[in-house]
Amino acid sequence: MKIGIVGGTGDIGEGMTMRLSPLFDVVVGSREQEKAEATCTMARDTLKSRGQECSLTGVTNQDAVDKGDIVILAIPFKHVVPTLSGLHGFEDKIVISPVNPMEKQDHFVFVPPPEGSAALMIQKLLPKEARLCCAFNTIAANRWKAIDEELAYSVPVCGDDDDTKHQVMELVNKISELQAFNAGPLSVSTMIEPLTPLVLNIARYNKMHDVGIQFR
């Protein structure tokens, strides 16, 4: 199974690349292929120094969509519209949105688009044959990158197609100690995406680092 990461050279994309490439064939996308290749070289060297093999290719964002069976949109909310408007070929792809619409004011504030969530906005931007799920929203970039530490967090996953959601949950459960939870249809993304500004605020006000969530 090939995983394409759109925005694979960003903060979250880099960490995902290092966590996913020892487990799956990963196609790292970027606006500029050279940047994607540089991220792959960095990730390959980092993993090699730890004795880990990986499967990694640096490509354009469009190639990441074309070659991925699962496509992860590892982009900030403000880049969603410009990025997706330049890409095509999402039909029948499994697409994962970890995107959180938020702004840093005095603290982090959840600022959803008129659709109610980033995922519901992305659904309108993608062809209706795309199989969209929300996942990984609450895993901070620093946690993805700290590859010597396990990711012992709960991951709420939502989406409208049960088969797709099942495949995404399987993917989540293969990564470190992440545990996927079915949170319902895509519309519950309105309750999942506010978790991220919430935990960022909790980290700040309680002097903690990279707070995550566990359901139990």
Question: Which residues of this chain interact with a second copy, rule CB under 8 A?
Answer: 107, 109-110, 152, 156, 181-185, 187-188, 190-192, 194-195, 197-199, 201-202, 205-206, 208, 211-216
Considering only CA atoms, which of 144, 4, 3 is closest in space to residue 64?
Answer: 4
Specify the residue, 81 or 208, whose C-beta has the smaller distance to a second copy: 208
Nearest-approach distance from CB 102 to a second copy, in angstroms: 9
Nearest-approach distance from CB 173 to a second copy, in angstroms: 12
Nearest-approach distance from CB 47 to a second copy, in angstroms: 26
Specify the residue, 91 or 170, whose C-beta has the smaller distance to a second copy: 170
Exposed e or buried b per residue across 23-54, where buried means at least 16 C-beta atoms within 10 angstroms of its C-beta: ebbbbbbbbeeebbbebbeebbebbeeeeeeb
Cα 71–chain centre separation: 9
Specify the residue, 127 or 215, whose C-beta has the smaller distance to a second copy: 215
Nearest-approach distance from CB 213 to a second copy, in angstroms: 6
Specify the residue, 1 or 152, whose C-beta has the smaller distance to a second copy: 152
Question: Do strands 94-97 and 70-73 pair parallel, antiparallel, or not at all (unpaired)?
Answer: parallel
Question: What length does the chain have?
Answer: 216
Specify the residue, 49 or 214, whose C-beta has the smaller distance to a second copy: 214
Backbone phi and psi for residue 83, each to the nearest 5 degrees, phi listed first: -70, -50
What is the distance between the alpha carbons of residues 210 and 212, in angstroms, rounded to a whole number? 6
Nearest-approach distance from CB 189 to a second copy, in angstroms: 10
Nearest-approach distance from CB 79 to a second copy, in angstroms: 23
Specify the residue, 59 or 171, whose C-beta has the smaller distance to a second copy: 171
Helical H segments across 21-67, by residue range: 33-48, 61-67
Nearest-10 crossing angle of helices 33-48, 11-20: 50
Considering only CA atoms, which of 215, 200, 211, 112 is closest in space to residue 155?
Answer: 215
